[in-house]
Amino acid sequence: MTNKPILEIKNLCAGVAGKEIIKNFNLSINEGEVHAIMGPNGAGKSTLSHVLTGKPGYDVRAGQVVFNGKNLLDLSVEDRANEGLFLIMQYPVEISGVPFMSFLKHALNAKRKYLGDKELDAPAFMKLVREEAQKLGINSDMLKRAVNVGFSGGEKKRMETLQMALLRPSLAILDEADSGLDIDALKVVSQGINDLNDGKRALLLITHHQDLLEYIKPDFVHVFADGHIIKTGDKNLALELEAKGYADFIKEAQC
């Protein structure tokens, strides 16, 4: 495979409030690939997704991140998104007073504007959203509510997946570092992700147990401990990890 690289992280060191959490982290993701990062709770997996998306409050001390040929760390949060980065959040925030449809329209048109395309008119927008929503089993009643307000955990994940389907990112990050997705939600999200993967996109999964990997088959599994990747393998590595437990596995890998 001579696929184009989408994301290249080199020697990334980052943390929060003076505490270094990501240490000398390296990872390359090419088009069409699915990567899974697994590690124990508290290892800093979520910090990685926050640093990549540009969440305020995190300091990058050293290293480089190239995303689709651009220096990711120089871009604002919104420009990273418009360049094709999408984070499926672990706990999507509820925003009362902002209707979901109006939020979606803002987001879609922001990306179109960024890419120099004309904004969608109301009928075209409605048609597009209805089509994608239907595929994910989202009814029109859910679309009428405010952003994430009153949704169950599973419903929130459906809405995240809908946003992803509409924004068609080149790299999606699914952060499930320590949340337990129920099986139904898992199926919907993984279907959405699998549908999107046309060979030109990539996916980074962040999780602490391998349930998710039953539905979305990773090409690479990375074990994350002490701020960086200590071992990389194929999907069998996830099973091995599950069987041994993190503590023993990490001890072994570090010897």
Q: Could you tell me the two tokens for 108?
A: 């879609």
Q: Virtual CA dihedral for 229, 234, 239, 243, nearest 10 degrees?
A: -50
Sequence-ordered alpha helix ranges (H) in the chain: 45-53, 77-82, 100-114, 122-135, 140-143, 153-167, 183-196, 212-215, 235-244, 246-254
Closest CA to 135 of 189, 82, 205, 182: 189
Residues between 51 and 110 that touch another protein (CB under 8 A):
53-56, 76-78, 80-82, 87, 89, 92-93, 95-98, 102-103, 106-107, 110
Instruction: Report the C-alpha gap between 118 and 4 in whole angstroms.
Output: 28
Least distance CB 151 / another protein (angstroms)? 14
Least distance CB 75 / another protein (angstroms)? 11
H or E element, residue 147: strand 146-147
Q: Which is nearer to another protein, 15 or 84 (CB)?
A: 84
Least distance CB 94 / another protein (angstroms)? 9
Judged by CB under 8 A, how many residues of this single chain contact another protein? Answer: 29
Q: Which is nearer to another protein, 161 or 163 (CB)?
A: 163
Q: Which is nearer to another protein, 44 or 92 (CB)?
A: 92
Q: In what order do the strands lie in the sheet with 202-207?
A: 85-88, 171-176, 202-207, 34-38, 220-225, 228-233
Q: Which is nearer to another protein, 1 or 93 (CB)?
A: 93
**Interface with another protein, residue 47, by CB under 8 A:** no
**Interface with another protein, residue 119, by CB under 8 A:** no
Residue identified by tokens 């925030």 is: 93
Q: Which is nearer to another protein, 177 or 225 (CB)?
A: 177
Q: Which is nearer to another protein, 53 or 210 (CB)?
A: 53
Binding site for another protein (CB under 8 A): 53-56, 76-78, 80-82, 87, 89, 92-93, 95-98, 102-103, 106-107, 110-111, 114, 146-147, 163, 167
